Structure 1
Amino acid sequence: MINAFASETTLLRNRPMPLVVGGGWVAMVLAFAFGVPYIVYSTLDPVDAQADRADLLDALVPASLDATSASSYPLFGGALMLILGVLITGPEYRWNTWTARFTQGPSRTQVILAKVAAGTVAVFVIAVVVVLASAAASMLIATIEGESLILPPAGDVLASVGAATLISTAWMTVGAALGVIFRGTTVALAVGLLWTLGLENAVSGLAGMFSMLEPLRAVLLGPASGSLVASLGARTQGDGGTPGVVDYVSAPVACLVLAAYIALSTTVAVAVIRRRDVT
């Protein structure tokens, strides 16, 4: 297992996909969590929109770093991490490398577990970089506006990184399982993005009108991710916050749902890869 994990981490370091996905996500957070809101803040009338300006600035200063840096994960970040998961397993079919991997080294189960572990390390590193970049952006805005540069407590920042890692790992493992199920990247990406960005949003919206759908909404990946971020103090979508941030379930329930997705996706990937031909 140690050798399999070392092999997978080496693969990720030598492939461009983690850098592309991670770099793209950092850029998106800086642009849409800090850049665009600050532009809106700067263009609002200081007299007529004083309350709106205050709310925007409160989310952009370092004191709100933990909530703001994680607020984009439930919708946009999750989709990117799903793509990363697909790219961890799907290309092995196109490159015809599964056979060599399974006949010359660890077992199929160990390889899949190693891929999931390596992917978890990758999303953790991405989460840390996002927090550091967000801290730099928030300090820059605070300096320009003459606001306090005091950061939130270290425990809150660690909780934000932990929540981002848990959310990212859940989405990543779903993508990895889809890559195995559909034996490639194209269909897996299409199904994954259609499900997460289309079906889940439709069910969440309908649950507001039909109470019978509320139990189903509570176990969906997106709402669980949004509820976990809301527990950090981020403004919900209904209160004018980032799309995808909701408060449908409590933080412990959200963590259990996300952990269940990780366990179920990994189990499915292992079961499928063990039972069928990989060529």
Structure 2
Amino acid sequence: MNALTALARSTRAELRRLWRWPATWVLVGVWTVLNLLFAYAFPWIGYSGGGGPDAAAGASPQALLAGLLPANVPSTLVQGMPMFGGAIVMLLGALAIGNGYAWGTWKTVLTQGPGRLAAFGGTLVALAVSVVGIVALTAATDLATAHVVAAVEGGSAAGPAAGDLVQAMAAGLLVLGMWAAGGVLVGALAKGPALAAGLGLVWALVVENLLRGVSGLVDGMATLTDRLPGSAAGSLAGALGAVGQDPRGEGTPGVLTVLDGASAAWLLAAYLVVFAVVALTLVRRRDLG
């Protein structure tokens, strides 16, 4: 069996495992619901006046409606990915690797299967395909919801420029791909699902925000925090216009403007490669106990 054949077989097996795994669909469902709530439902309530006297504070009704229409889908698509979408995909990557250790399946696959490189590569490719599916599902859901809003509120149903939508989807793939690779690394480090999931969520949702919060207290620390994975992801989203307002007029969590779009994209690509290579090195060189 040559290397490509082994990789293809491993990828098919991993895709079958992920797509039949209830946790995968639970995580995808959670992300879809969160995206709909924070990107559309709550702003729509604020626009319609059903959210209380302060629901649209800081944003005019026209601005709220404009953010809900099809033309704004590219920026809406990426605005939740740096923090919430990233945390969920990181959890998926951590569980995909960590459960292999907990269930003992890595021992069987890596010792009796196609070899460590092909087996682990198949998991990475399967996760990459899953990320593509998540981004495509998010784009389709956003477009459908935006057209519903336009029909109900009498707004423009004109869709976004094809180039803008493709650019936003590519950015979403890069952001979620980086977080998925980070989850793979955490899963390989922890060698178990529970610790890996906990560490991934704490880093994505807590640690980076705390570091950015205290960066002004230490000289030079901002230079470091501006280049953390979450900062790069948030900056790429911000560069694409994801600076939307929630019903209270507050900025979208996780969206930043500390880096320009090109720098953020290159940094995310570098993180993705480094995370995947380090995780592969750990799996190849460590024992399976």
Q: Deviations over 1:64-90 (max 9, x none)?
A: 011012100111111101111011111
TM-score (norm: length of structure 2): 0.90
The amino acid that maps onto 1:57 is: L
* Shift in Å, 1:231: 1.4
Q: Which runs of 4+ in 1 moved over 3 A?
A: 48-51, 208-211
> Which residue of the other structure, out of 72, 78, 84, is the alignment partner of 2:80?
72
Measure how far apart 1:228 and its partner are.
0.6
Is 1:59–2:67 an aligned residue pair? yes
- Displacement of 1:207 in angstroms is 2.7
Is the contact between residue 113 and residue 266 of structure 1 (CA under 8 Å) also seen in structure 2?
no
- 1:49: how far off? 6.8
One-letter amino acid matched to 2:88? L
Inter-partner Cα distance in structure 1 for 2:68 and 2:48 = 12
Work out which of the residue numbers 235, 255, 265 in structure 2 matches 1:245.
255
Aligned residue in 1 for 2:14? 8
Instruction: Indicate the RMSD between aligned Cα atoms, in angstroms.
Output: 2.0
Matched, 1:134 2:142: yes
Q: CA deviation at 1:51?
A: 5.3
Partner of 1:34: 40
Matched letter for residue 23 of structure 2: M
> In the aligned structure 1, how far is the partner of 2:281 from the partner of 2:139?
36
Of the structure 1 ranges 124-133 and 186-195, higher mean CA displacement relative to structure 2 is found in 186-195
- SS of the equivalent of 2:67 reads helix
1:73-110 Cα offsets, whole Å, 9 max, x none, are: 11111110111101111111121111210122222122
Change in 2 beyond 3 A, CA 1:51/1:5: closer
Is residue 225–residue 254 contact of structure 1 (8 Å, CA) maintained in 2?
A: yes
Aligned to 1:266: 276
Letter in 2 for 1:38: W
CA–CA separation in structure 2 for the residues paired with 1:266 and 1:243: 26
Q: Take 1:50 and 1:218, find their aligned partners in 2: how far apart are those partners?
A: 27
Which segments of 5 or more consecutive residues in structure 2 lack a partner in the other structure? 1-6
2: CA distance, partners of 1:61 / 1:98: 47
Q: Distance in 2 between matches of 1:278 and 1:50?
A: 54
Query: What's the CA shift for 1:62?
Result: 0.8
Looking at structure 2, the residues matched to 49 and 245 of structure 1 have their Cα atoms a distance apart, in angstroms, of: 19
Distance in 1, matches of 2:216 and 2:152, equals 41
Partner residue of 2:124 out of 116, 119, 123: 116
Q: Deviations over 1:138-167 (max 9, x none)?
A: 111111111110011111111111111111
In the TM superposition, residue 183 of structure 1 has moved relative to its aligned partner by 0.8
Which residue of 1 is the match for residue 163 of structure 2?
A: 155
For 1:226, the equivalent position in structure 2 comes to 234
1:230–1:236 CA contact under 8 A, matched in 2: no
Separation of aligned partners in 1, 2:218 and 2:130: 39
Bigger mean CA deviation after superposition, 186-195 or 120-129? 186-195
Could you tell me which residue of structure 2 aligns to residue 86 of structure 1? 94
In 1: Cα distance, 2:34 partner to 2:57 partner: 26
Q: Sequence identity of aligned pairs in percent? A: 34
Deviates more, 1:98-107 or 1:244-253: 98-107
Partner of 2:177: 169
- Aligned-residue offset at 1:224: 0.6
The alpha carbon displacement at 1:212 in A equals 1.2
Point out where structure 1 has 5 or more consecutive residues left out of the alignment.
none
Q: Secondary structure at the match of 2:184?
A: helix
1:268 is paired with a residue whose SS is: helix
Q: Name which of 190, 194, 200 aligns with 1:186.
A: 194
